[in-house]
Amino acid sequence: KAGVTQTPRYLIKTRGQQVTLSCSPISGHRSVSWYQQTPGQGLQFLFEYFSETQRNKGNFPGRFSGRQFSNSRSEMNVSTLELGDSALYLCASSSVAGAPGGELFFGEGSRLTVL
């Protein structure tokens, strides 16, 4: 069974640009959540989607948005990039909404550098 796949793995953008990251969950998983990982702030929850609906959202500005498609693939978008958005963005999938058992499976992440 293929794991969680994130693309692109690395990307470089400049301030003011926007970026779209993609995540394909494990086959059969309908929940996808996103996390931002930085050295200073650590791992922070961005949002969770289940069956194309956003279930939870973290404390990030409106520049961060996401969506989920009918095949459970998810994208997140960051508009008007700032230097502080440089981070590793991790996607995780789960077979149940809210992952009550916490069985999240993570991808390898997308490393975003904003210049």
Task: Give the binding site for another protein (CB under 8 A).
Answer: 3, 31, 33, 35, 42-45, 48, 50, 55-56, 58, 88, 90, 92, 94, 97-109
CB-neighbour burial class of residue 42 (10 A; exposed 0-12, middle 13-18, buried 19+): exposed
> Which residue number, 85 or 109, has a Cβ lying nearer to another protein?
109
Q: How far is the CB of 72 from another protein (least distance, A)?
A: 15
Residue 29: CB minimum distance to another protein, A: 13
Beta bridge partners of 47: 34, 57
Q: Rounded to the nearest whole angstrom, what is the least distance from the CB of residue 6 to another protein in the complex?
A: 10
Kindly report whether the peptide bond that precedes residue 61 is cis, defined as omega within 30 degrees of 0: no
